[in-house]
């Protein structure tokens, strides 16, 4: 019987996950289906329960349900526990919650963009769910330092405090710089806005990475003017999906052709 998977979100129509997982399944010969499910804002847990009752084997979770998924899971991977958010659920003897966002970002940076992180100065802009999920995987790469800058400085401080030495928190006006890598993990790009960052965070060798994908953003345009190289979050999206696929199926798909085909449309 074909194994069923899904992504839950609100909204969900824009999601590229069904396309990505269909490509992975074709490529690796896995007998599975993957659909997008619009969960009501007050009905995520019920929707997941219905999907499990209908034979669902696993699911991805996107905005705004990642923290609710964290609470719904009755077992958590270490990376989900540290992230405080879940983007991958496996329905197998209960509900296992995992978080593949950080692994996806690190894979995109190191493998696709050839950006080694050891010894680098990294600025992470934002302290929401996406930022929280990537701190530990970034630290595992042993950067020289990691600075977290956020509009609400106390949220950056809370996040930095979870990790201790080597991680500092600040507001947008006290970041210092320059940095080798600047990651925009704020939702500002979604609104077409630019966080008020200093141009001094960039230098000619900086890679500016925006987790947002699908269009050029004011952050990437600003970085380009300062001479930085730029990348959007499409690679991260495909890599976090590949990590979830591996969790479910035990097979690692080749991401390069999938990224290329999404870029082509
Ligand atoms: P959250 O709502 O959890 O966090 C939002 C963050 O953005 C907070 O730090 C918030 O600051 C900050 N912020 C919001 N608006 C502004 C603004 N106008 N100026 C400056 N800062 C702002 O969102 P997520 O963390 O879930 O998502 C963030 C981004 O990452 C989104 O664009 C999302 O699409 C993207 N993403 C991409 C993924 C991928 O695979 N490529 C995976 C996951 C997320 P404050 O604390 O002060 O409110």
Q: Domains along the chain? A: 3-99+235-264 (3.40.50.10860), 103-232 (3.40.50.720)
Output the pLDDT for position 145: 95
CB 139 within 8 A of CB 103: no
Ligand 1 centroid vs 212 CA: distance in angstroms? 9
Cβ < 6 Å from ligand 1: which residues?
A: 63, 101, 104, 126-131, 150-152, 155, 185-191, 193, 195, 211-213, 233, 236-237, 240
Beta strands 95-98 and 88-91: pairing type?
Answer: antiparallel
Q: Tens of pLDDT along 99-146?
A: 999 999 999 999 999 999 999 999 999 998 899 999 999 999 999 999
CA of 172, closest atom in ligand 1 = 20
What the block records as the tokens of 57 is: 């084997």
Q: Give the active site residue among 57, 66, 82, 121.
A: 66
**The pLDDT value given to residue 129:** 85
Q: What is the pLDDT of residues 154-184, one digit of tens each?
A: 999 999 999 888 899 999 999 999 999 999 9
**Catalytic residue flag (residue 16):** no
Rounded Cα distance, 61 and 68, in Å: 9
Q: What is the pLDDT of residue 165?
A: 80
**pLDDT beneath 50: ranges in the chain:** none
- The SS3 assignment for 217 reads coil
Residue with the two structure tokens 């960052």:
197
190 burial (CB, 10 Å; 0-12 / 13-18 / 19+) is exposed
Query: Would you give the DSSP letter of residue 41?
Result: T
The gap from C-alpha 135 to its chain's centroid, in whole angstroms, comes to 11
Residue pair 43/13 in contact (Cβ under 8 Å)? The answer is no
Ligand 1, atom 36, lies closest to the CA of 211
Q: Give the residue, by CA position, lying nearest to ligand 1 atom 43.
A: 130
Among protein residues, the one whose CA lies closest to atom 6 of ligand 1: 186
Residues in the chain: 265
Which pLDDT belongs to residue 164? 83
């Amino acid at each position: 019987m074909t194994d069923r998977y899904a992504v839950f979100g609100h909204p969900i129509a824009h999601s590229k996950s069904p396309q990505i997982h269909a490509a992975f399944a074709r490529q690796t010969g896995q007998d599975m289906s993957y659909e997008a499910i619009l969960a009501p804002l007050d009905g995520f847990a019920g929707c997941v329960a219905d999907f499990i009752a209908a034979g669902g084997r696993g699911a991805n979770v996107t905005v705004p349900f990642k923290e609710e998924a964290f609470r719904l899971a009755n077992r958590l991977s270490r990376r989900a526990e540290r992230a405080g958010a879940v983007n991958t659920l496996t329905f197998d003897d209960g509900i296992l919650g995992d978080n593949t966002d950080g692994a996806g970002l690190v894979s995109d940076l190191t493998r696709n963009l050839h950006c080694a992180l050891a010894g680098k100065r990294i600025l992470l802009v934002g302290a929401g769910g996406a930022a929280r999920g990537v701190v530990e995987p970034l630290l595992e790469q042993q950067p020289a330092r990691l600075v977290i800058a956020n509009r609400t400085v106390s949220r950056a401080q809370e996040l930095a405090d979870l990790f201790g030495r080597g991680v500092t928190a600040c507001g947008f006006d006290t970041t210092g710089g320059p940095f080798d890598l600047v990651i925009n993990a704020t939702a500002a790009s979604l609104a077409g806005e630019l966080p008020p960052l200093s141009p001094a965070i960039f230098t000619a060798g900086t890679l500016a990475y925006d987790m947002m994908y699908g269009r050029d953003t004011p952050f990437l345009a600003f970085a380009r003017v300062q001479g930085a190289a730029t990348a959007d979050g499409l690679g991260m999206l495909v890599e976090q999906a590949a990590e979830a696929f591996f969790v479910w199926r035990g097979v690692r798909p080749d991401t390069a052709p999938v990224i290329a085909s999404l870029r082509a449309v």
